[in-house]
């Protein structure tokens, strides 16, 4: 299934039904009193989160969602039927944004979470409502009001505890496949990952966390280079970011620059995302040997004046991964207790 994480739709609530002007006409009451009924209310449009949906691709084929109009009132004091509500199902993690005001209307973060998007119109009143002691035969009625309309943008954001980012071919997908059951595409060329993916990491029988792998960033991503920064929004709900770094590039002097590229693009995208806890993970230590890799990592840490945690791993030979996963579990548990 194609991965689509953004869509625009038009939600239209139902119009209220009109009131009715009518009088009783019976055999023994040829000129009876008023008996015009009220109209029915228009249907509402709701958004509901559904964990069985994992893409917004369905909204590329249908963009307008209309609830049912309320029926008009009828004689014999018959009230019009209320219009049926419409429920639009979206993936869990979808954010709803008003296109006109850019206001965030809601975040659908739980299965079966439901929110009203637009309200249906109110019913009109029949002439029965206007009879009085001085007006025994009113010919007045009111019309139903129009239902609300709203253009909204849907943005699906993956719900993960840990997010991975880095340059292409840093080993993010290999690490994801190593620690979880995810089946990400792995190859020796850039941008093998074209869409974000999730994996569940089970550290032991009682502890697990969800990890998110997004396509690699390159220099100028904030200006649209490569796949751009459109997938960074999937990391906004993560508790921890792992910056995956290839410790054995062709040019060793590029290491510091590679780290600064990701840091710069992250800061350009969102200061909140930039300030999230972030650990450096030096991957592919098997290409250098652990001792040489440790010395190289230490020199880089001193050069960039890094004060947070950093790790040396090999996704291919499963080196250092167990300790990394255990530390992530401890960090998440501590954060949730707070």
Residue positions in the annotated binding site for GTP? 166-173, 191-195, 213-216, 283-286, 314-316
Q: CA angle, corner 87, sides to 86 and 89, nearest 5?
A: 145
Beta bridge partners of 107: 95
Contact status, residue 163 vs residue 214, Cβ threshold 8 Å? yes
Please state the residue numbers annotated as binding site for Mg(2+).
173, 193
- CA pair distance 3, 284, nearest whole angstrom: 29
Alpha-carbon distances, residue 27 vs 32, 79, 126, 244, 285 (angstroms) = 10, 24, 23, 88, 99
Nearest Cα neighbor of 288 from 245, 323, 324 is 245
- CA pair distance 267, 275, nearest whole angstrom: 8
Give burial (CB, 10 Å; 0-12/13-18/19+) of 163.
buried
Which helix (H) or strand (E) segment holds residue 49: the answer is strand 45-50
Nearest Cα neighbor of 237 from 338, 110, 97 is 110
Please state the residue numbers annotated as binding site.
166-173, 191-195, 213-216, 283-286, 314-316
E strand segments, 196-308: 197-202, 208-213, 240-246, 278-283
Helix (H, G, I), strand (E, B) or coil at 172: helix
- CA pair distance 45, 69, nearest whole angstrom: 12
Helix (H, G, I), strand (E, B) or coil at 30: coil
Contact status, residue 106 vs residue 47, Cβ threshold 8 Å? yes
- CA pair distance 224, 245, nearest whole angstrom: 22
């Amino acid at each position: 299934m194609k991965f689509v994480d953004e869509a625009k739709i038009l939600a239209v609530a139902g119009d209220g039904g009109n009131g009715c002007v009518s009088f009783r006409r019976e055999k023994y009451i040829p000129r009876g009193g008023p008996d015009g009924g009220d109209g029915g209310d228009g249907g509402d449009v709701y958004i509901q989160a559904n964990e069985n949906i994992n893409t917004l691709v369905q909204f590329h084929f249908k963009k307008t969602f209309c609830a049912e109009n309320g029926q008009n009132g009828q004689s014999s004091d018959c009230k019009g039927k209320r219009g049926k509500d419409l429920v639009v199902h979206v993936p869990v993690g979808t954010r709803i944004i008003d296109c006109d005001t850019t206001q965030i209307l809601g975040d659908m973060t739980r299965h079966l979470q439901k929110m009203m998007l637009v309200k249906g119109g109110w019913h009109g009143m029949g002439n029965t409502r206007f009879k009085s002691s001085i007006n025994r035969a009113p010919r007045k009625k009111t019309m139903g009001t129009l239902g609300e309309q709203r253009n909204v943008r849907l943005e699906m954001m993956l719900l993960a505890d840990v997010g991975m980012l880095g340059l292409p071919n840093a080993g993010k997908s290999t690490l994801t496949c190593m620690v979880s059951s995810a089946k990400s595409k792995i190859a020796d060329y850039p941008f093998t990952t074209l869409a974000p993916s999730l994996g569940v990491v089970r550290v032991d029988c009682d502890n697990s966390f969800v990890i998110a792998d997004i396509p690699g960033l390159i220099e100028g991503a904030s200006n649209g280079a490569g796949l751009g920064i459109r997938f960074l929004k999937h990391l906004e709900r993560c508790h921890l970011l792992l910056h995956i770094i290839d410790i054995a590039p062709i040019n060793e002097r590029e290491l510091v620059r590679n780290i600064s590229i990701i840091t710069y693009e992250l800061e350009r995208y969102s200061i909140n995302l930039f300030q999230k806890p972030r650990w450096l993970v030096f991957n592919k230590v098997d290409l250098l040997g652990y001792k040489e890799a440790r010395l190289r990592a230490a020199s880089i840490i001193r050069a960039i004046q890094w004060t947070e945690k950093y790790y040396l791993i090999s996704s291919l030979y499963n080196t250092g991964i167990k300790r990394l996963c255990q530390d992530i579990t401890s960090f998440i548990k501590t954060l949730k207790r707070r």
